[in-house]
Structure 1
Amino acid sequence: MKIKLLIILFFISFLGKCQEITVFYKEKRKPAQVSTKESFDTDEISDYYREQFAKIKEAIKSGVSKDSIMLIREELEKEGERISARISEREKNKKPLTIPYYDYITVLRINKEKSLYYPQNEVSNDTVSHSRTNKKGRELVDERINYNDSEIIYLDTSKKKKISSLKVHKFDYKGRKFLIEETLEPQEWELTNKVKKIDQYICYKAILKNTDKKVEAWYTNKIKASYGPKGYYGLPGLILELKEGEKIVSFDKVSLFPSEPIIINPPNEGEKITREELENLSTKIFNEY
């Protein structure tokens, strides 16, 4: 019994003093931008025009009057419009391709006064294809590309430095990476008495005050690491769950006993710009096109 008590006391003491931690988070996301290319079934109208033009040629060869040919052409145009309308109606009523959520897994690595937040896997732009067959057996393919945002955030609280490497697809069709170096601004939190349990940890709710966005965090003071996902920091414990607007980043697991030292280096990939330039980039890129 005494041995178990000593182990528990040691573990609690370690949680209060640990300096090197790796935390995994998960988030349900939809692509930031979707590009869809559809194959339209035009066989029906093509075949109709081909048949009618053949009839006109035969009528001309047989010496039919010009007035009769004009009537044939007028009927051809009317029937072509009717076929086009039927195709348009079918396309309008066609069930659209669904855009599913995907699991976005992120990692937070902490070493004393530094942290690095990044995707667990390289974020890719997924191509989803859907095949269908028309009445004549011709295969048509609807294609959709899901463009996913990614971000790497480095914090150094001792030097009040923040460096972000990010890719924003919602307005940048070129898929470029941007690198932003800025001063780490203090985050003012309102601590509340609201409590809930996340995994094995008792967590308390905090609300970020100095922001235009609605940001809520659930932190545990059992792990003395003043960091969290998406570059949030400054609470008296590790953030296990974050709600930013309608988006929720949830705790997955934590590693408190690293097998080797955690070395944290800032990201260095991307075109260097300022935060203000990034916010105005959508207008700039729109003018480029």
Structure 2
Amino acid sequence: MKTISTTILVALTFVFTGLIQAQDFQGKAYYMSKTTIDMANFGRPGMDEDMKKRIADRLKNALEKTYILTFNREESVYKEEEKLDTPGGGSSGFGRMMMGNFVAGNQYKNIKTNAFLQEQEVFGKKFLIKDSVPSFEWTMTGESKKIGQYTAFKAIGKKLKYGLDVNFGRPKPGEENKEEALTPEKEEIEVVVWYTPQIPVSQGPSDYWGLPGLILEVNEGRTTILCSKIIMNPDDKETIKVPSKGKEVSRAEFDEISKKKMNEMRQNFRRGGGRPGGGRR
């Protein structure tokens, strides 16, 4: 296998200029994101399997989402596709509170300036995460497969794990007062992606980028992101807007804020309460 740094791959990307010569070039890619739950460690001790299955089925709607990546040669914005809620399809209990009070907004990245911005909302308070795009060192495996009409190639990389890693169940006996829900700092995880040089832009869903072609599939832990449709140079081009709303914080600062709010919410949920801090922000 051959390892190529992100910097070299970005340079290689611009060798393939056939599709992106036009100054107003733009593309749209639609992705389905699915996250599975570790059912072996799900729920409170002694919960029967039928109950686990019913809860997992209700969480499924919240853990399967469709996103749209709008991109050009240098910029992209990744946002959730708006859709109507399915009646009775939401989660319940702690899961519902978590989903309703930690709301992810648009993600923007500029691979020329290395800028990364994301809007986030926590209990009604808006934040603007401002950071650099992550640096990947991709290992090319030489494997290929078809994704729709495109030939995709496999690459393996590592990234820092950010954000909350939530167990929706109740705590185990003796762990009622234990703070939890945030992945340890600077934990590296392996990711597997598939990209296509047939669309020669160094873009991808979420914060992924850095390959000589659009990333069509991502496998990260229990989450899979798969491209289902691509529209090249749509008739109605969309302005790629840089997110600007919310209190500016770094990614590390936002994780600390989320961890604090999550643990407050867990404690209130265990006591049968509501919002963290009794509704204070």
Match of 1:22 among 11, 24, 28: 28
- Cα deviation for residue 14 of structure 1 reads 5.1
1:153 aligned residue (99, 107, 111):
107
Partner of 1:189: 138
Partner of 1:166: 120
* Structure 2 match to 1:121: 82
Contact 2:158 2:189 in 1 (8 A): no
| Unaligned 5+ runs, structure 1 | 1-11, 32-90, 131-141
CA deviation map 1:230-274 (0-9, x unaligned): 111110000010111120001110001310333211112333222
Equivalent residues of 2:217, 2:225 under 8 A apart: yes
Q: Distance in 1 between matches of 2:120 and 2:217?
A: 22
- Kept in 2, the 8 Å contact 1:129–1:143? The answer is no
1:98 corresponds in structure 2 to: 55
107, 113, 116: which is aligned to 2:68?
Answer: 107
AA of the residue aligned to 1:25: Y
Counterpart-to-counterpart distance in 1, 2:89 and 2:201:
44
Q: C-alpha distance in 2, partners of 1:92/1:247?
A: 25
- Is residue 233 of structure 2 the alignment partner of residue 284 of structure 1? no
Q: Distance in 2 between matches of 1:253 and 1:94?
A: 36
Q: Is the 8 A contact 2:33 2:226 kept in 1?
A: yes
Task: Please state whether the residue corresponding to 2:82 is helix, strand or coil.
Answer: coil
Q: What is the match of residue 149 of structure 2? A: 200
Distance 1:284 1:222, change over 3 A: same
Q: Which moved more, 1:142-151 or 1:210-219?
A: 142-151
8 Å CA contact 1:123, 1:150 repeated in 2: no
Q: Matched residues in 2 for 1:129 and 1:26: separation?
A: 18
**Contact 1:17–1:224 (8 Å) recurs in 2:** no
Write the letter of the residue equivalent to 2:125: R
Contact 1:165 1:178 in 2 (8 A): yes
Structure with bigger helix share is 1
> Residue 215 of structure 2 aligns to a residue in which SS?
strand
- Cα distance in 1 between the residues matched to 2:240 and 2:151: 28
Question: Unmatched 5+ residue regions in structure 2?
Answer: 1-15, 38-46, 161-187, 265-275
Take 1:127 and 1:215, find their aligned partners in 2: how far apart are those partners? 34
Match of 2:196 in 1: 220
Shift of 1:128: 3.7
Distance change >3 Å, CA 176–CA 244, structure 1 → 2: farther
**Contact (CA 8 Å) 1:154, 1:164: kept in 2 or not?**
yes
**Cα pair 2:35 2:224 within 8 Å, conserved:** no
List structure 1 segments (4+ residues) > 6 angstroms apart after TM superposition. Answer: 91-94
Percent of matched pairs sharing the same residue: 27
CA distance in 1, matches of 2:55, 2:225: 23
Secondary structure of 1:234's aligned partner: coil
> What is the SS of the residue equivalent to 2:241?
coil
Taking a change above 3 Å as real, the CA distance of residues 191 and 127 of structure 1, as seen in their structure-2 partners, is: same
Give the Cα separation in 1 of the matches to 2:137 and 2:125. 32
Deviation at 1:113, TM superposition (A): 0.6
TM-score (norm 2): 0.61
Are the structure 2 counterparts of residues 92 and 111 from structure 1 closer, same or farther at C-alpha, using a change threshold of 3 Å? closer
